[in-house]
Structure 1
Amino acid sequence: MLVTFSFLVFSVPEEVRAKPGEDVLLQCNGPTGAAITKIKWEKPDLEDRSVFFFRDNTPYKIYQDPRYHGRVELKDPAMKNGDASVVLKNVKVNDTGVYQCWVTTPNMPGEMLHSVQLVVSEGTTKGHLEQLKEQSKKLHTIEVLLGVGLGLGCLLVVGVACFALRRFVCPKPKSGPV
């Protein structure tokens, strides 16, 4: 029997700093040479809406949180070399947070490729920095726990399947007179 283990590796988000009113680049690169069919930029605290949603060469505002209407666009609409980066215009202090980039290609289902920690402030105070670091640590802990949970869940499914196969494929011999 061959059992394969896969581990999810999570990285700390890249940090981008800006002052209110500036435009910022949120970078993300999909596979080079692959046709990108969907790009989704999310901010986890937005619930069901996206920061930016792009499918079949069209941005969809219907899936976009209204606070981002008219403020987000692709850096390169041709998406050369897999560039799924977006420009967020006229940033506000409440834009501060983690942004996640998900890209789909014909050969790759939706996969989170990059996350960016955007910090928008007039000036950085030590208290604000400490708060952001704590939020980043919590996010990282949640991501690691999710990875461990998924790995253990897969092991449980494989174990149950192996037990069931063994029981039904190789039943115990009946005992008694021959």
Structure 2
Amino acid sequence: MGTRTPAQHVFMFLWIIGSVAAGDLEAKPGEDVTLPCNSLTDANVTKLVWKRPELEDVNVFFFRNKRADENYQDPRYRGRVELKDPEMKNGDVSVVLKKVTVSDTGTYQCRVTTSNMPTELLHSVHLVVSEGESVFLLKSSSIGLKMRNPPSGTYSSVNAIYSLVPGN
């Protein structure tokens, strides 16, 4: 695979931003929730990590060597998280979080590394679990790309943060 041009990187970044804009989720306790994330290609996923950034060093889901690895998963999430599509067709690396509780409220980040793209994709989604009516909050999400520049082996990063106010 050839080197990507800056224009291709910008296109990928804008495509990711568009896919993240619908990234806020609401659920009631006991429900199962799909946390969406897609890689840019249908290439072999070499590593997939879902994290809770506000909880220090907490892996919600860890996938490497073609299998989920509970040794790197926080005990609060063991047995409650699985791939939506175990074959990860069309780059779908979404996970299902089962039987959510109010303590599951927070931000979830998905990091994907594929075999043909030395890029780590970061996707954030905010989950609100509440007993009552819909909660209207100012929610913000962020996304970043970490790209390796093949000739020099150096890395460059692009980050964006945006806020959404749910409509009526």
TM bin, normalised by shorter chain, reads: 0.5 to 0.7
The structure 1 residue matched to 2:32, chosen from 13, 18, 23, is 23
Residues 1:58 and 2:67 aligned together: yes
Distance 1:100 1:69, change over 3 A: same
Q: Retained in 1: the 8 A contact 2:49–2:62?
A: yes
Letter in 2 for 1:107: N
Query: What percentage of residue pairs aligned between the two structures are identical?
Result: 55
Contact 1:40 1:53 in 2 (8 A): yes
Q: Cα–Cα, structure 1 residues 12 and 43, in superposed 2: closer, same or farther, change >3 Å?
A: farther
* TM-superposed deviation, 1:49: 2.5
The letter for the 2-side match of 1:32 is T
Structure 2 unaligned residues grouped into runs of 5+ = 1-5, 145-156, 159-168
Distance in 1 between the 2:63 and 2:55 partners? 17
Greater fraction of residues in strand: 2
One of 99, 103, 113 as aligned partner of 1:94: 103
TM norm structure 2: 0.68
Aligned length: 133
Q: CA-atom RMSD, angstroms?
A: 2.7
Following superposition, which runs of at least 4 residues in structure 1 exceed 3 angstroms of deviation? 6-13
Q: Give the one of 23, 38, 44 matched to 2:53.
A: 44
Partner residue in 1 for 2:117: 108
Partner of 2:94: 85
Structure with bigger helix share is 1
Using structure 1 for the length normalisation, give the TM-score.
0.64
5+ long unaligned stretches in structure 1? 145-149, 152-178
1:10-60: CA deviation from partner (whole Å, max 9, x where unpaired): 666711111000000011111332111111111102211210000011111
Rg (Cα) greater in structure: 1
